[in-house]
Structure 1
């Protein structure tokens, strides 16, 4: 290589993307179509296949195959000319601008972006770290579910499934498991939903709440309102009123927590450990660091942890990374006040809402299916050695 070639590589700005979330796949796709010669991008992800969270209930229910709802990050990076490092991040040093990964040398960056998502907050529940199955990471949960699902024929009694969390994720996962079990096995099963609020789907309108209340009850699913889990062992769950629930398979779909290394890095985080960002999605303590999706705590206005925000933040993140490289002004992210929410009901039936709007039916499920498949098609282009 000539001296000019070495200097060109040396002078490139290094951009590290931690996590293969919805925002980062937008960055990869855009930089693949419109490369910036001054930049060298690296994606760091613990998994080579990243799940599209909106399709996971359909995967559990049996409506989709595994490949239908996962994006191949390695192939996407190969297509885009971006380095891919398949490793778990365990620390960041923002002073030295270094990312530390398992079984990989430290990676230096000029600009860093974090889109790692979240996981259920289990640290305050006795025994939760060892018992039950957190819905995230999705890959591990799906493996645990399939292993248990394929072994339930060994039980001599009706299996007991408990889902903890009355939000959209808890409802969808519960109904997907219920549908899968009643579609494929003749054995009776007992499902229980534990909801800390007095109403399921507390952040949705009353029509949505009433529909799912009635739907769950019509399927014989027990709902426990206004109670919290305080401890769990290998066979029983204890609630805060000392009620004991026997279970065979328990799922954690409770409030989100951030990876501990975010707070430990010295980047300013909120009380839950998520990176505090300004209107440009930039860390308020470290202007060379961005954060999006669940990993971010948006300072201008609190945002719920919902995938729609990570998707909408992607194009803004793309523009702002390019703007920093080209010394241009940054673009603000303006979150929508209301967003379309579609909650599936196990079978090919779903409920849509936005603000006070409400709709339900099989057509809503097929509408969602069209939206989801269209999204996946955008990030599964024809790649060398790959398929559409």
Structure 2
């Protein structure tokens, strides 16, 4: 009788997002026999988004808020492939990467984040800088910052998007320019909604209304950008607003390759997943974080959810790989702690209807962020 050997299974992870960072650590702590794990990422350094405003403002260095995926994978004993995903074929369980690299999987997990929906605004893909991908935005901001540092002309800086990302980045830019340069600048925030920070409570909104007014930041609410031109925006009331630096922090959309993936997706291109993070059309594919549309209920696109999804994502992937059928459902918390920075070493905390602010909140946030980063100091 000829003995049969069971072939190894392949687990592919696409993207170095917050959920995968946590999942990789969990999978390394409880390695699965006969499973080969590969992480595919177009970047070798992945940013921790919670520290991005602090990096822009000058409170952190680049290394303070970036995790080296090569070191993480080496520590975890998994293979790292530095490439860009071009296409996937779920019927063949195959991923097509650049340079004609083909990778096969038994189980796939996707955690690639999101990006501003620039295609919804004519000209937005040509003019201005989307705040995501973060790597490109940091490079574009630093280039502009360096080239304009000696300019004597008034610089018009415009941020489109009245959510947490738009406000935090605007205030970080203002702080950096006002405190480290001689650049003369005026700032404008354009918000399509009738209120800024619509997912936060009224106390938070009122605080930032006063803060923006006190620092001379122009606020335009309830107006949509309908066209982006070189150095000029056109709003839906046909008013025109000039800019020298333009950042897009509008509602999120998915990366284009996901809409061509053959997986079920929502109106914004995000992969539809069930309560176990499995694709609703292909149960051998998992997705978490911003790139996933959680079908049991709507979830905000925030790093808080992505981080907390990581442990359960790892557990359910492991359960499926060993052939068990009973996965654990994800039950998101109704309220979560939100910490928003104001440019300097000052921050606002809120949870549900609760609200407070001060330097001590920033120190608290700084401790949380640095503790998260320290957990990946694996050298």
TM (norm. structure 1) is 0.95
2:14 matched residue in structure 1: 18
CA distance in 1, matches of 2:138, 2:74: 27
Q: Secondary structure at the match of 1:174?
A: helix
1:386 matched residue in structure 2: none
2:286 matched residue in structure 1: 290
Q: Contact between 1:87 and 1:104, CA under 8 Å: does it hold in 2?
A: no
Shift of 1:31: 2.1
1:313 aligns with 2:334: no
2:140 matched residue in structure 1: 144
Q: Secondary structure at the match of 1:77?
A: helix
2:104 matched residue in structure 1: 108
Structure 1, unpaired ranges of 5+: 384-388
2:331 matched residue in structure 1: 334
1:105-254 to structure 2, matched below 5 A, reads: 105-254=101-250
2:356 matched residue in structure 1: 359
Q: Secondary structure at the match of 2:298?
A: coil
Shift of 1:155: 3.0
Q: Give me the CA root mean square deviation.
A: 1.2
CA distance in 1, matches of 2:305, 2:34: 29
CA distance in 1, matches of 2:272, 2:241: 38
Q: Deviations over 1:193-245 (max 9, x none)?
A: 00011111011000000000100110000000100111111211111111111
Q: Contact between 2:149 and 2:182, CA under 8 Å: does it hold in 1?
A: no
Aligned residue-pair number: 376
CA distance in 2, matches of 1:373, 1:12: 38
TM (norm. structure 2) is 0.97
Q: Contact between 2:119 and 2:125, CA under 8 Å: does it hold in 1?
A: yes
CA distance in 2, matches of 1:255, 1:31: 33
2:266 matched residue in structure 1: 270
1:374 aligns with 2:353: no
1:90 matched residue in structure 2: 86
Shift of 1:325: 1.9
Shift of 1:153: 3.3
CA distance in 2, matches of 1:105, 1:30: 28
Distance 1:154 1:232, change over 3 A: farther
Shift of 1:321: 1.0
1:345 matched residue in structure 2: 342
Q: Contact between 1:38 and 1:325, CA under 8 Å: does it hold in 2?
A: no
CA distance in 2, matches of 1:187, 1:117: 33
CA distance in 2, matches of 1:257, 1:296: 11
